[in-house]
């Protein structure tokens, strides 16, 4: 090995700092993505709970049978 190749094997302080910034940014973006996904799933669950269910088409027939009437 030459002296030039030995000198360039370790990252410089700037490269190390940039790697730390990149790691911190990656962690932050991952955290924000997880927070958004959690909020989205909570809101979708809330929408499912509050959305009115469509009426059962057989409900009228069932009610008429309970009253002793014949179905339509």
Across the chain, mean pLDDT equals 86
Predicted local confidence at residue 13, as pLDDT: 95
For residues 24 and 49, which has the higher predicted lDDT (pLDDT)?
24
> Residue 11: which of 19, 3, 21 has the closest Cα?
19
Mean pLDDT on 38-53: 90
- Burial code of 18-38, b = ≥16 C-beta within 10 A, e = fewer? eeeeeeeeeeeeeeeeeeeee
Tell me the Cα Rg of the chain.
32
């Amino acid at each position: 090995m030459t002296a030039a190749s030995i000198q360039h094997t370790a990252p410089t302080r700037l490269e190390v700092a940039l790697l730390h910034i990149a790691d911190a940014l990656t962690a932050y973006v991952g955290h924000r993505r997880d927070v958004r996904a959690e909020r989205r799933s909570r809101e979708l669950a809330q929408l499912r709970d509050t959305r009115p269910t469509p009426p059962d088409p057989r409900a009228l027939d069932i009610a008429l049978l309970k009253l002793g009437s014949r179905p339509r």
